[in-house]
């Protein structure tokens, strides 16, 4: 009896300790953090100015012209859609597969997913020639158009992602409400409202568990759909490099690989700036690196499929397109994407030494860079090889170097993603506390004093 009591107390004591530690990241004042936010805001401000110029003068401020009629806005959009896929990878696929070590990463990955999908939606509006007519999409929407499919699926994914972030967080928000006393009034109020009167009642817990499971299952087809449909924006046309039945799985596998890299980078910097070494361990890096290798191999497979057939046949414009990529104007970028962006991660991370946090983070950066340029290579060169030759046009129509406005807006979209992530990380506990405790009670946690 007494023994039982002490363990009870021990557990309670230990839980208190964990809660305190994990809640301490919430809203911790920090000068570097302020500088970071200001820097992001400055970048966003410059982007807004560039967008103001675009609204005023039209898309002429970009380097897009007839022929190269889509540019880095679209490639960046595809990139962010790809990033948003990690939400489903970590928070649902791994979770449903009962991979125990992954749960401290669920909230981080959901936050990134939400931030990326919001910015993807914004970028697509930036690309429109007539953003003032956005509502036409609702008034006159034609369900036959892949753009409408994309709009619908992005909205669905956004809603599910927000719910998947928010609902499992309810117990933690309740903790913030109950335990964080010396914070500003508005934040106390915010937690109170957001907690939706959560009291850890058995009924509430049961319903939450059910809802979460439903959402976790639902998000998987939607996540696949969002990226597949984005690939259909291209695959439904006759452009070389787009006119391929491989494009859907190619995009999805690429997105998974990118997603794993993004989560590794996020883990590295979050662990460092919020001192979460006890919760995000070296072991996490090792395991995520292994996942990244696996996903890279899958992507490599689709990548070979994408190029081998056309490169073997070298038919017409498709052949021109391949030549341009392999040895033409885009060769440097193409091989940068293929070698450091795809081969290197596989080779380095096969070895144990290559799965140390710092190395993994650097390699993930290469993957990230490769993935961004890969999206560029998907969108732009294809447009420059139409069936009929490009003649009688201004020299500027033959190339595409994004203008400063395009770069500014693109950078601002990155800053936007980072800002949303930072704010959410600051406002809410990063590691799901309740879940952590549950897992600990079940004795499923690896020793935290590694």
Partner 1 sequence: MKKNETKRFTRRSLIKYTGLLGLGSILGVKLLSCTSSSKPGGKMIKVMTPEGKLMEVNETDMSMAHPHFANIEESRKGIPGRKFVMVVDLAKCKNARECIRACEHHHNLTPDRPFIKVLEIQDNPRSAPYWMPKKCFQCDNPPCVKVCPVGATYKRSDNIVLIDNERCIGCRFCMAACPYSARVFNWGKPKQSQDVTNIKYSPETSTPSKIGTVEKCDFCPDMIRGKKLPHCITACPNGVLYFGDANEDTVTNGEDTVRLSKLLRDKAGYRYLEELGTEPNVYYLPPVDRLFPFKDTKA
Nearest residue (CB) to partner 1, 49 versus 70: 70
Tokens, residue 264: 């590794």
Distance CA 272, CA 265 (A): 11
Nearest residue (CB) to partner 1, 27 versus 146: 146
- Shortest separation between residue 137's beta carbon and partner 1, angstroms: 6
314 binds partner 1 (CB under 8 A): no
# binding residues, partner 1 (CB under 8 A): 45
Footprint of partner 1 on 100-129 (CB under 8 A):
127-129
Distance CA 210, CA 426 (A): 28
| The one among 11, 12, 52, 66 contacting partner 1 by CB under 8 A | 66
Tokens, residue 357: 């946090």
Nearest residue (CB) to partner 1, 97 versus 143: 143
136 binds partner 1 (CB under 8 A): yes
Of all helices (H) and strands (E), which one includes residue 291? helix 282-313
For the beta carbon of residue 122, count every other beta carbon within 10 angstroms. Answer: 17
Would you give the distance in Å from CA 95 to the centre of its chain?
18
78 binds partner 1 (CB under 8 A): no
Distance CA 23, CA 279 (A): 13
Distance CA 150, CA 228 (A): 9
Place of tokens 């919020």: 274
Distance CA 286, CA 288 (A): 6
| The one among 45, 52, 134, 269 contacting partner 1 by CB under 8 A | 134
| The one among 223, 233, 322, 346 contacting partner 1 by CB under 8 A | 233
Stretch that binds partner 1, among 7-15, 267-275, 392-400, 441-449 (CB under 8 A): 392-400
319 binds partner 1 (CB under 8 A): no
145 binds partner 1 (CB under 8 A): yes
396 close to 60: Cβ distance less than 8 angstroms:
no
Stretch that binds partner 1, among 59-67, 339-347, 355-363, 408-416 (CB under 8 A): 59-67
260 close to 292: Cβ distance less than 8 angstroms:
yes
67 close to 386: Cβ distance less than 8 angstroms:
yes
361 binds partner 1 (CB under 8 A): no
- Shortest separation between residue 118's beta carbon and partner 1, angstroms: 20
Binding site for partner 1 (CB under 8 A): 57-60, 62, 64-67, 69-70, 127-130, 133-134, 136-137, 139-142, 144-148, 151, 233-234, 236-239, 383, 386-394
């Amino acid at each position: 009896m007494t023994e039982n009591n002490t363990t009870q107390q021990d557990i309670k004591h230990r839980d208190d300790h964990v809660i305190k530690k994990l809640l301490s990241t919430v809203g911790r004042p920090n000068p570097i953090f302020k500088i970071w936010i200001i820097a992001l805001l400055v970048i966003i401000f410059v982007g807004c100015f560039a967008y103001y110029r675009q609204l005023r003068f039209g898309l002429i401020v970009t380097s897009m012209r007839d022929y190269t009629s889509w540019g880095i806005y679209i490639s960046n959009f595809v990139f962010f859609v790809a990033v948003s896929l990690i939400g489903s990878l970590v928070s649902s696929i791994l979770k449903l597969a009962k991979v125990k070590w992954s749960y401290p990463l669920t909230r981080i990955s959901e936050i990134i997913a939400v931030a990326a999908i919001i910015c993807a939606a914004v970028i697509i509006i930036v690309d429109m020639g007539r953003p003032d007519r956005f509502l036409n999409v609702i008034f006159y929407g034609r369900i036959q158009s892949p753009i409408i499919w994309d709009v619908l699926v992005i909205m669905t994914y956004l809603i599910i992602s927000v719910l998947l972030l928010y609902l499992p967080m309810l117990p933690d928000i309740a903790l913030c409400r109950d335990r964080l006393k010396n914070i500003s009034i508005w934040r106390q109020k915010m937690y109170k409202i957001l907690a939706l009167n959560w009291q850890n009642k058995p009924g509430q817990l049961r319903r939450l568990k059910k809802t979460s499971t439903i959402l976790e299952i639902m998000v998987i087809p939607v996540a696949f759909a969002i990226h597949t449909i984005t690939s259909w924006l291209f695959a439904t046309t006759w452009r070389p490099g787009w006119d391929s039945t491989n494009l859907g799985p190619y995009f999805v596998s690429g997105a998974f690989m990118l997603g794993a890299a993004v989560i590794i980078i996020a883990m590295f910097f979050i662990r460092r700036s919020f001192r979460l070494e006890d919760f995000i361990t070296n072991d996490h890096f090792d395991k995520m690196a292994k996942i990244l290798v696996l996903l890279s191999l899958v992507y490599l497979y689709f990548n070979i499929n994408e190029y081998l057939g056309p490169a073997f046949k070298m038919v017409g414009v498709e052949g021109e397109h391949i030549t341009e990529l392999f040895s033409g104007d885009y060769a440097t970028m193409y091989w940068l994407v293929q070698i450091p962006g795809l081969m290197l991660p596989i080779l380095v991370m096969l070895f144990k030494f290559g799965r140390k946090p710092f190395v993994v983070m650097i390699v993930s950066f290469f993957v990230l860079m490769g993935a961004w340029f890969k999206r560029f290579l998907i969108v732009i060169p294809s447009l420059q090889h139409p069936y009929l030759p490009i003649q009688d046009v201004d020299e500027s129509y033959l190339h595409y170097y994004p203008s400063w406005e395009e770069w500014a807006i693109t950078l601002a979209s990155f800053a936007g993603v980072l800002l949303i992530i930072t704010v959410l990380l600051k406002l809410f506990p990063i590691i799901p506390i309740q879940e952590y405790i549950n897992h600990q009670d079940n004795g499923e946690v690896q020793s935290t004093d590694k």
